[in-house]
A and B are shown apart, each in its own frame.
Chain A
Amino acid sequence: MTQDMTPLLNVTNLSISFGGLRAVDDFDITVKKGQLYGLIGPNGAGKTTVFNLLTGVYRPDVGKIFLEDENITNMKTMDINKAGVGRTFQNIRLFKKLTVLDNVKVGLHNRFHYSTLEGIFRLPRYRSIEKIMNEEAYKLLKVFDLENEADYLAGNLPYGKQRKLEIARTLATNPKLLLLDEPAAGMNPNETKDLMKTIRFVRDEFDMTILLIEHDMKLVAGICEELTVLNFGKVLMSGETNAVLNDSRVITAYLGED
């Protein structure tokens, strides 16, 4: 268990303003390796902004982001991914005109290499590497029960499967930390239940650390071990899931005062 003591993600003092609005104000979070961690809060609290800061879409005004020992503050989005942070999006962002298989293979892009010329002239390395990429991609598709749809265009998949494909594509980049932005958004209760199983499975199977934003309290209570509550860009409280969800301050933030 000593390994569990080192935080995988350590964020301190993170702040960003847009015009006069402090969207995220002095945000701290520590996620340990292997944890399933939830980031919750009312609409407009700044949760997605935090994700955008963590993945380099926005540069923070102040604050530090550490992934294990590596300072990833101010790094470019693509380098943050290479450092080991993968994410999904609130409004699903798939490559809609590519096949399901190719979506995952784009995710594998930085793990398997051959040159442009080897690709154009179909040299032996092209064949061998493509074969390995196909195998790896199918392995992931099988995990998410998508292997029968491998040749479909991603845009034609039903909603629930699009969510799964987005997670599969992100896992293809072999991240250490997986950020899920409202994975249950737009899902019916059955799909949500299925999703909870998938998320737990991903954590166990891939030995993954997961930080997720979610509004669905059933999902949050069901799978998250620890929570941080964000309200008006500030951390309202952090702690073990049950304690947080029963805290009067959190209830007030969500439901308003009597």
Chain B
Amino acid sequence: MEKIPKIWRENLITYGMVIIAYAVMQILISFGLVSRLVQGLLVPLCIYVILAVSLNLTVGILGELSLGHAGFMCLGAFAGAFFSKVTVDAITFSPVRFFLAILIGAAVAGLFGFLIGMPVLRFRGDYLAIVTLAFGEIIKNVINALFVGLDSNGVHFSLSDRAALGLLDDGDVIINGAQGIIGTPQDSNFTVGVLLVLLTLFIVMNLIRSRDGRAIMSIRDNLIASESIGIHVTKYKLMAFSISAALAGVAGVLYSHNLNSVAASPRAFGYNMSIMILVFVVLGGIGNIRGSMIAAIVLTLLPEMLRGLDRYRMLIYAIVLIVMMLFNWSPKILEWRERHSLRELAGRLRGRSKV
């Protein structure tokens, strides 16, 4: 019966790492030791951590490959930004407005996760990866071509151009095609980002250690056995996929409120982004929540740290990727790490003191 405290300790270490990193960063900032460049990276760091942890729910816990995570992020970004832009005059107290924007971003992304998940989760493995990739691109491209305007007659939609909206004189274009939404309030900051990281960790880690989480992991480990003991496989696949999408939506809201505009560009929401998030998950260890968090931080900071190397930057980045992969997964190195771990050292010290 000592399993529960062990999990508690593991989770506390994870939360603790986030809080300590946040505190250290704040102290460094207050002493003026952090460059503007790195300061500008703090919110993106939180965004990537949320994306990596939430994708790990699909890839590591449910065991299904998804390459459309950036698409759900895109949905969250636009739903949240749309809400904020429309209500910026109505709700002047920004924390409340931002809180509602996050809820709306999560709900919209989660809803689409559910709707898309229903047909695509029938596929498995490579097929699912390709279909999710396609859906991610569809979401991005549709939003990229979307015009939404608001006037006293209500909301107008168009997929051709802004003139087709037929707005009255008092109307305003909210989503302007490829230009996206301009003039969102900049409600994101490092503190809110860290709080959302903690919330994401809380949801994912507690879900895993619950009745539903066990059902989700049983599907990953053996689908046939899972069905044979009465687990509703479709329900739990959809649950994991939708929660994962909703959390990606949260990251999206954080993204679209970090700068004062958001556009559905390939750079921000394309498949490159989805694959980068997947790299965080794979490098950090599939199913390892803390690992994907660390991988996201290291791999986001690394290119910036290597800026001095100029042309060789991406070469070094690639080499570090390979070395990290080996360090994480090579059986020989795993063995070496086991022998030289802190726990092992602590055990040896304790053994000596007893003698």
Number of interface residues of A (CB under 8 A): 44
Q: Are B203 and A106 closer than 8 Å at their CB atoms? A: no
A102 within 8 A of B: yes
Q: Are A78 and B230 closer than 8 Å at their CB atoms? A: yes
* Residue of B1, B203, B211, B239 with highest tally of chain A CB at under 10 A: B211
Q: Are A57 and B215 closer than 8 Å at their CB atoms? A: no
Q: Are A106 and B229 closer than 8 Å at their CB atoms? A: yes
Which residue from B210, B222, B231, B233 sits with its C-beta under 8 Å from A93?
Answer: B222
Bitwise interface map of A from 87 to 104 toward B, beta carbon under 8 Å scored 1, else 0:
101000111111101100
Which residue from B1, B2, B220, B231 sits with its C-beta under 8 Å from A109?
Answer: B231
A94 to B225, CA, bound (A): 7
A231 within 8 A of B: no
A161 within 8 A of B: no
B224 within 8 A of A: yes
Q: Are A109 and B221 closer than 8 Å at their CB atoms? A: no
Number of interface residues of B (CB under 8 A): 30
CB distance from B342 to the nearest CB of A (A): 21
Q: Are A122 and B206 closer than 8 Å at their CB atoms? A: yes
CB distance from B54 to the nearest CB of A (A): 14
Q: Are B218 and A106 closer than 8 Å at their CB atoms? A: yes
Tell me the chain A residues, 122-139 only, with Cβ under 8 Å from chain B: 122, 126, 129-130, 133-134
* Residue of B2, B202, B210, B239 with highest tally of chain A CB at under 10 A: B210
Is the contact region of chain B dominated by helix, strand, or loop, or is it mixed?
helix
Q: Are B210 and A126 closer than 8 Å at their CB atoms? A: yes
Closest to B202 in A: A120
Q: Are B230 and A81 closer than 8 Å at their CB atoms? A: yes
Q: Are A77 and B228 closer than 8 Å at their CB atoms? A: yes
Closest to B219 in A: A95
B227 within 8 A of A: yes
Residues in A with CB closer than 8 Å to B291 are none
Closest to B205 in A: A120
CB distance from B15 to the nearest CB of A (A): 14
Residues in B with CB closer than 8 Å to A151 are 2-3
Which residue from B218, B227, B230, B233 sits with its C-beta under 8 Å from A95?
Answer: B218
Q: Are B207 and A97 closer than 8 Å at their CB atoms? A: no
A6 to B196, CA, bound (A): 59
A79 to B230, CA, bound (A): 6
Q: Are A119 and B3 closer than 8 Å at their CB atoms? A: no
A101 to B1, CA, bound (A): 10
B217 within 8 A of A: yes
A105 to B210, CA, bound (A): 10
Q: Are A98 and B218 closer than 8 Å at their CB atoms? A: yes
Q: Are B1 and A134 closer than 8 Å at their CB atoms? A: yes
Q: A95-B218, A96-B221, A98-B217 in contact; A120/B229 too (CB < 8 A)?
A: no
Closest to B225 in A: A93
CB distance from A118 to the nearest CB of B (A): 8
Closest to B217 in A: A98
Q: Are B217 and A97 closer than 8 Å at their CB atoms? A: yes
Q: A95-B222, A119-B207 in contact; A77/B227 too (CB < 8 A)?
A: yes
* Residue of A95, A101, A170 with highest tally of chain B CB at under 10 A: A95
Q: Are B221 and A57 closer than 8 Å at their CB atoms? A: no
Give 16 new A-B contacts, CB below 8 A, not counting A78-B233, A98-B218, A106-B218.
A77-B228, A81-B228, A81-B229, A86-B228, A93-B225, A95-B218, A102-B217, A105-B214, A106-B231, A107-B229, A109-B211, A110-B230, A113-B211, A120-B206, A151-B3, A173-B230
Report 16 cross-chain contacts, Cβ distance below 8 Å, ordered by A residue: A57-B224, A78-B232, A86-B228, A87-B228, A93-B225, A94-B222, A97-B221, A106-B226, A106-B229, A109-B215, A119-B206, A119-B211, A120-B206, A120-B210, A129-B211, A173-B229
Closest 6 CB pairs of A and B: A119-B210, A81-B230, A95-B221, A93-B225, A77-B227, A106-B218
